[in-house]
């Protein structure tokens, strides 16, 4: 991904990783358009970053995605990059409440169907650009799941797989397909406690490392900070090691 000179749409750009990445890419000289459902969060981000733009989007609504894509293209015809960052993460108690599928269904609609639908809506436009980028945001949990949040992890694993297929299908076009897989980062994705959890990577450190990779590794298809690599490559390290690491990881995360 070229680090500057782009017109970039970032979903979920009003908070957390989305906002921090939007601000970093904005400072590099890109025109950044943030989207999300919470207009007040978008407006707060715009106020702090003159020159950014914003459009509201309900990523769970298929019809809204189609109209949103048409509006984004009409307003920003130079649009040549999309960062599919919007997502939700919530625990599920399968032992005591197996009948409650609300979290599972909402997570699949937001984290999996949302990126697929938005990419479909934007792809004809992106293919017309001299150089374009689709960046999915998955998670280290795509590679070693946190049992507390099974559907979240499953959607991120699915997006990882989907990203590989899209990358291959678009290999002879002007559209590059990247994957950003964050580790556990200090955001409010799972509530305010996560933002202050010393086990999580500070958000500023994560963004600085991501931007450095974008600037220095232009051919990288997976953007992996050092903190996420133990998760990314856990299974490749062997079955026995993976089994032990999975148990250790989940025991540690569930003990807090």
Residues taking part in catalysis? 152
193 HSE (CA, 13 A, CB side): 2
As a three-state string, the secondary structure of the chain is CCCCCCEEEEECCCCHHHHHHHHHHHHCCCEEEEEECCHHHHHHHHHHCCCCEEEECCCCCHHHHHHHHHHHHHHCCCCCEEEECCCCCCCCCCCCCCCCCHHHHHHHHHHHHHHHHHHHHHHHHHHCCCCEEEEEECCHHHCCCCCCCHHHHHHHHHHHHHHHHHHHHCCCCCEEEEEECCCCECCCCCCHHHHCCCCCECHHHHHHHHHHHHHHCCCCCEECCHHHHHHHCCHHHCHHHHHHHHHHHHHHHHCC
Q: What is the CA radius of gyration of the chain?
A: 18
């Amino acid at each position: 991904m070229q680090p500057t000179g782009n017109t970039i749409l970032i979903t979920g750009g009003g908070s957390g990783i989305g906002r921090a990445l939007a601000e970093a890419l904005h400072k590099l000289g890109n025109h950044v358009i943030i989207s999300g459902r919470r207009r007040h969060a978008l407006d707060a981000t715009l106020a702090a970053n003159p020159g950014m733009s914003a459009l509201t989007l309900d990523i769970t609504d298929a019809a809204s995605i189609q109209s949103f894509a048409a509006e984004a293209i009409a307003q920003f015809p130079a649009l040549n990059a999309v960062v599919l960052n919007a997502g939700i993460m919530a625990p599920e108690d399968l032992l005591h409440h197996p009948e409650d599928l609300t979290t599972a269904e909402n997570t699949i609609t937001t984290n999996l169907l949302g990126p697929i639908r938005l990419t479909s809506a934007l792809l004809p436009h992106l293919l017309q650009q001299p150089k374009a980028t689709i960046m999915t945001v998955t998670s280290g949990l795509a590679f070693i799941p946190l049992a507390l949040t099974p559907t979240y992890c499953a959607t991120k694993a699915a997006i990882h797989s989907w990203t590989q297929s899209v990358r291959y299908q678009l290999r002879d076009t002007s559209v590059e397909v990247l994957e950003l897989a964050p580790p556990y980062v200090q955001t409010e994705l799972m509530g305010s406690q996560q933002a202050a959890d010393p086990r999580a990577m500070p958000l500023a450190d994560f963004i600085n490392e991501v931007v450095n990779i974008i600037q220095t590794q232009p051919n990288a298809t997976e953007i992996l900070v050092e903190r996420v690599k133990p998760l990314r490559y856990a299974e490749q390290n062997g079955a026995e090691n993976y089994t032990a690491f999975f148990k250790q990881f989940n025991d540690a995360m569930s003990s807090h």
